[in-house]
Amino acid sequence: MNYILITGASSGIGKACAQWFAAKWYNLILAARSIDKLEALKAEILKDHAVDIVCKQLDVTDTRGVDVFFEDLKKEKAQICCCINNAGLALGEDEFSQVAWRDLETMIDTNVKGFTHVAHWIVPFLKQTAGHLFNLSSVAWVEQYEWGHVYCASKAYVKFLSKSLRLEVFGSWVRITDIAPGAVDTEWFSMTRFKGNKSKANAVYAGYEPLHAEDIVNTILFCYESPKHVNIEYLAIMPTAQAAARKVYREE
């Protein structure tokens, strides 16, 4: 039985991926820090879709935890045909020298080290199934902006590792796609960035319609369900009102 593995599956883009892929009758392995949220999501999905769903706790910043997670999948001989390497975050939007070091470290631990650790483990699984790896970067790697510093840099890392891996797996029929969203309004991204400051979080999306998690899932599904001889290496998706990272048309 083939499965789609989704990291960061308890909220935002990861949660939407779980819901939409289940609606297409794909079996799922859902991974996130909160097992309770994953179990609730599983129960919600199973009301409408008779698919197999496995929930596993995973904190991508926990090095030993990631190893155990994938060692267990290996022992279980899990057949993973797709991985959506989605876990990531932004913290703060202050001048580089003024940001708390712990916030910078958390972004590096999650967006670079955790992302890399998942990719390092998943490639052998995907070689067995001629599977598909989706890495979630951001338009922030293309067009850096002030106060973006480490977040922008971490997403550039995702882009360049994606391309390097694409060259490495050439000939194995593994497909690798870098999805680079613009402004996406999920229930947690900006709230996490601004540490629960709702007014700051809402201001990011004021005056225009941003992307929604479902828009990103549509893009991922399009890439995944394209014929096997088609590998869409990189796809940026932005709101119509956003022409660049910091160029947004807002209606008064």
Q: Which residues are catalytic?
A: 151
**CB-based contacts of 47, cutoff 8 Å, min separation 6:** none
180, amino acid identity:
A
Cα(7)–Cα(136) distance, rounded to whole angstroms? Answer: 11
The length of the chain in residues reads 252
Q: Given the structure tokens 């199973």, which residue do they identify?
A: 46
Cα(16)–Cα(89) distance, rounded to whole angstroms? Answer: 16
**CB-based contacts of 233, cutoff 8 Å, min separation 6:** 162, 163, 166, 176, 177, 178
